[in-house]
Structure 1
Amino acid sequence: MKRICIIPCGAKKIWDVSKEAGSQPAHLVYLSPLHQRTKTYAQTFFDDWVILSGKYGFLHKDDIIPANYDVTFGTNHIELITEEQLRRQFYEKQLTAFDELVVLGGKKFRKVIDPLLLDHQHANYPLAPYKGIGYMLKAIKEATESGTELTAHD
């Protein structure tokens, strides 16, 4: 079974601490604790992982982000990526090749990811049972430190 991990971006970005940072690869842009922990988790348990951004959609670690932005799923922001754009990226970035998508985000990501899935694909949301970011951060840290993946939840 071919698997990929999808992690959230985050509100705090490199330009919040270094205004003159310029364009940066996605893996260096996001500084929030949740993003940092989910990135460590993804790198620990997966060969393949992508970042999911409300503005740019699916980002590979070396995709370039030109400048700061503040666009979040679950809002009606004018720059929010559309489902059609996400579906195009899903094919272009070959996410269709994966059987299992492990999504390390809150319930708002289910509305974004589930409509994109093909018949052979399954998404699971191991952070779904956690009520709040503090519990998510703790669970991710414990899983990474123990070398034990979080339990899958559909």
Structure 2
Amino acid sequence: MMIIASGKPKIWDKEPTIGTVSANQAYIGTFHRLCQAYAQKFDSDYLILSPYYGFLKPTDLVPHTYDVRFTLKGVNQETIQLAELKKQWLDLTLSESQYVVLGGKKFQLLLHQIIPQNILLDFPLDQAGGIGNMQNAAS
């Protein structure tokens, strides 16, 4: 299973009146789309990590846009909080022992605070550098 970042650009930026959409349609940024395509190609089971909603399955509904970001330190007053993210993770009742995370460095610290230590997290884009390099690596 993979975990991918949601990204700032959302469908409501282009279609403000579209209403509720599934998570796999809500995020339209280049990096997210590349990660989504990669996840669908190599491991059709993936989660989207949103700083507003937390862990989303591709079919989960997203009712509206938001402008919230995780920071290098993880959560902040505007984002979903660690306690809720931990609860969501437990509620998912996933059985995998390893997850591939497609996202920047800020997700490492955050996910290590949420996901139990006995679960291996692989960050293949960790050494890619900036967003342009990560996009090239994800494509």
Where in structure 2 are the equivalents of 1:73-92 lying within 5 Å? 73-74=70-71, 77-92=76-91
Deviation at residue 17 of structure 1 after TM alignment: 0.3
Residue 31 of structure 1 aligns to a residue whose secondary structure is: coil
2:120 counterpart of 1:138 = no
- Residues 3-49 of structure 1: CA deviation (Å, up to 9, x unaligned): x1000001110000001100111000000000000000000111310
Deviation at residue 124 of structure 1 after TM alignment: 1.0
Cα distance between partner residues in 1 of 2:83 and 2:66 = 21
For normalisation by structure 2, the TM-score amounts to: 0.93
Report if the CA contact (8 A) 1:15-1:21 is conserved. yes
Report if the CA contact (8 A) 2:10-2:28 is conserved. yes
2:8 counterpart of 1:7 = no
Note the residue ranges of structure 1 that are not aligned, 5 or more in a row: 142-154
The residue that corresponds to 1:123 in the other structure is 121
Where in structure 2 are the equivalents of 1:5-154 lying within 5 Å? 5-74=2-71, 77-95=76-94, 97-141=95-139
Deviation at residue 77 of structure 1 after TM alignment: 5.0
Distance 1:108 1:138, change over 3 A: same
Cα distance between partner residues in 2 of 1:54 and 1:6 = 13
Note the residue ranges of structure 2 that are not aligned, 5 or more in a row: none
- C-alpha RMSD of the superposition: 1.4
Deviation at residue 99 of structure 1 after TM alignment: 0.5
Q: Give the number of equivalent residue pairs.
A: 137
Q: Aligned partner of 2:21: which letter?
A: Q
Report if the CA contact (8 A) 1:71-1:77 is conserved. no
Report if the CA contact (8 A) 2:75-2:81 is conserved. no
For normalisation by structure 1, the TM-score amounts to: 0.84
The residue that corresponds to 1:145 in the other structure is none
Residue 115 of structure 1 aligns to a residue whose secondary structure is: helix
